[in-house]
Amino acid sequence: MKIHEYQAKEILRQYGVPVPKGRVIQTAEEAKRVSEEIGTEPVVLKAQIHAGGRGKGGGVRVVRNLSEVEKVAREMIGMTLVTPQTGPKGKVVRKVLIEERVEIKEELYLGVVIDRAKASPVIMASREGGIEIEKVAAESPEKIVKEWIDPSIGLRPFQVNKIGYGLGFGPVEVGKLRPIITGLFNAFHEKDCLLAEINPLILTKNGEFIALDAKMNFDDNGLFRHKEIVVLRDLHEEDPLEIEASKYNLNYIKLNGNVGCMVNGAGLAMATMDIIKVFGAEPANFLDVGGGATVEMVKNGFKILMSDPDVKVVFINIFGGILRCDTLAKGVTEAVREVKVKVPIVVRLEGTNVEEGRKILNDSGLNFTVAAGMYEGAQKVVEALKKVGA
């Protein structure tokens, strides 16, 4: 799960990380009052969307005169912000963070992620801040200091020293970095994060470190023990169909093609998208109805697929295994009747009683094309697309 910058900064502040003075607003009318509370000129207005690169699309504005702050806020709230990370459609700005502007002497990077290969959290720090750490890692890996954290002993003071002195700072700066590195790691660890990042962490002209931007991604599997994080979810940032699907516990991701896919299991669902592509068509979505693929899940899956106007053909690929195909086939026909599916459907079912299952589909009088395997299924999808002229 992702959260906004202002929310991440609030969490980090609670963990002792210095952040700029600021507050989030949702209406332009609040802008002036909030700026006056902050009490400095100029202020910075930052659009709050779940995507980076905001500066490039006009999502970060410096306002030198407080008399203009309401006007700028009005321009920003409601605007569609397009950044390199939002995709061409962009995202609507609903909240703006107003902050004091701090004088930057140097920009650093500080982040915690999980190193999958080493099965350990790793703290990464670099004096090349403000840009994507992946770029630094690719172009000049020697400029990144890394410390892996042994889960049984946690982050140790000597490791903070290794990071601070490793970056080339002296004792005074290392002393100031200590609570920031420790705070960031503790937040990462205690809140079940997959990523916690301060980029940039800035060194001000007064010699203080401040988290100028912050990003936190949480482990969905850990959310059950973090009610305080769950409430931070912003549904405006998610695709409406994806939200609908998540209510049914379906894994759904909207894509750009026109073949609606319904598959059981994540790996087979990806492979189904891939084979559609091999045959020259494009998947409209990723949809995993779960390895078990119950009739209820299939019904809900249809509801989601039929809400997407891009879907011209549906490809159902269910490898039931233990599941009985006759039960599944009955479920699929019921679902098609109930949801009133109007586009051609290609079905590939596999599992116990597969012959009975295919017979139920063929005899249903509904618009099914039954395929014997994935290969034939993908072929028939492409034929069906041609027939509907897509």
Partner 1 sequence: MSILVDENTRVLVQGITGNEGMFHTRQMVEYGTRIVAGVTPGKGGQKVDGIPVFNTVSEAVRETEANASAIFVPPAFAADAILEAADANIPLIVCLTEGIPTLDMIKVKEYLRKKNVNLIGPNTPGIISPGKCKIGVMAGYIHRQGPVGIMSRSGTLTYEVVDQLTKKGIGQSTCVGIGGDQIIGLDYVDLLRLFEKDPETRALIMIGEIGGIAEEEAAKFIEKEIRKPVVAFIAGLTAPPGRRMGHAGAIISGGKGTAQEKMEALEKAGVRVVKNPALVGEEMAKIIEN
Of 62 and 266, nearer to partner 1 (C-beta) is 266
Backbone angles phi, psi at 114, to 5 degrees: -100, 125
Maximum CA pair distance of the chain? 80
> Smallest gap, in angstroms, from Cβ of residue 319 to partner 1?
5
Q: Residues in contact with partner 1, total (CB under 8 A)?
A: 57
Look at the chain and count its residues: 390
> Of the listed 70, 99, 107, 109, which one is catalytic?
109
Does residue number 41 form part of the binding site for partner 1 (CB under 8 A)?
A: no
Of 39 and 267, nearer to partner 1 (C-beta) is 267
Q: Strands 104-115, 193-204: parallel, antiparallel or unpaired by DSSP?
A: antiparallel
Locate 335 and state its tokens.
């679902």
Radius of gyration of the chain from Cα atoms?
Answer: 26
> Smallest gap, in angstroms, from Cβ of residue 27 to partner 1?
31
Does residue number 148 form part of the binding site for partner 1 (CB under 8 A)?
A: no
Of 68 and 376, nearer to partner 1 (C-beta) is 376
* Segment 203 to 222, residues that bind partner 1, using CB under 8 A: 219-222
> Smallest gap, in angstroms, from Cβ of residue 227 to partner 1?
14
Q: Catalytic site residue 197?
A: yes
Identify whether the C-beta of residue 49 lies closer than 8 Å to the C-beta of residue 55.
no
244 vs 258: CA distance, rounded Å: 19
One symbol per residue from 311 to 340: x for binding partner 1 (CB under 8 A), - otherwise; what is it? --------xxxx------------------
Please identify which residue in 175, 249, 375, 387 interacts with partner 1, judged by CB under 8 A: 375
Q: Which of 280, 281, 263 is nearest to 272 (CA)?
A: 263
Preceding peptide of 200 cis, ω within 30°: yes
Please identify which residue in 378, 381, 384, 385 interacts with partner 1, judged by CB under 8 A: 378
Locate 36 and state its tokens.
């006056």
Locate 108 and state its tokens.
């650093």
Q: Which residues of 96-135 are buried (b: 16+ CB within 10 A; e: fewer)?
A: bbbbbbbeeeebbbbbbbeeeeeeebebbbbbbbbeebee
> Of the listed 197, 228, 237, 383, which one is catalytic?
197
Does residue number 383 form part of the binding site for partner 1 (CB under 8 A)?
A: no
Locate 184 and state its tokens.
């960031």
Does residue number 189 form part of the binding site for partner 1 (CB under 8 A)?
A: yes
Does residue number 268 form part of the binding site for partner 1 (CB under 8 A)?
A: yes
Does residue number 192 form part of the binding site for partner 1 (CB under 8 A)?
A: yes
Please identify which residue in 273, 347, 360, 370 interacts with partner 1, judged by CB under 8 A: 273
Reduced to 3 states (helix: H, G, I; strand: E, B; else coil), residue 103 is: coil
DSSP 384: H
Of 237 and 282, nearer to partner 1 (C-beta) is 282
> Smallest gap, in angstroms, from Cβ of residue 187 to partner 1?
13
Does residue number 253 form part of the binding site for partner 1 (CB under 8 A)?
A: yes
How remote is the C-alpha of 252 from its chain's centroid? Answer: 13
Please identify which residue in 11, 177, 263, 347 interacts with partner 1, judged by CB under 8 A: 263
Give the start-end residues of each E strand in the chain.
Answer: 22-25, 43-47, 60-63, 80-81, 91-92, 96-100, 104-115, 120-126, 144-148, 193-204, 209-211, 214-218, 251-254, 259-263, 285-288, 313-324, 345-352, 368-370
One symbol per residue from 67 to 106: x for binding partner 1 (CB under 8 A), - otherwise; what is it? ----------------------------------------
Please identify which residue in 86, 258, 264, 327 interacts with partner 1, judged by CB under 8 A: 264
148 vs 206: CA distance, rounded Å: 31
Of 100 and 376, nearer to partner 1 (C-beta) is 376
One symbol per residue from 105 to 134: x for binding partner 1 (CB under 8 A), - otherwise; what is it? ---------x-xx-xxx----------xxx
Preceding peptide of 84 cis, ω within 30°: no
> Smallest gap, in angstroms, from Cβ of residue 197 to partner 1?
11
- Catalytic residue numbers read 109, 197
In the complex, the residues that contact partner 1 under the rule CB under 8 A are 114, 116-117, 119-121, 132-134, 137, 150-152, 189, 192, 194, 219-222, 224-225, 251, 253, 255, 263-278, 282-283, 286, 288, 291, 319-322, 350-352, 373-375, 378
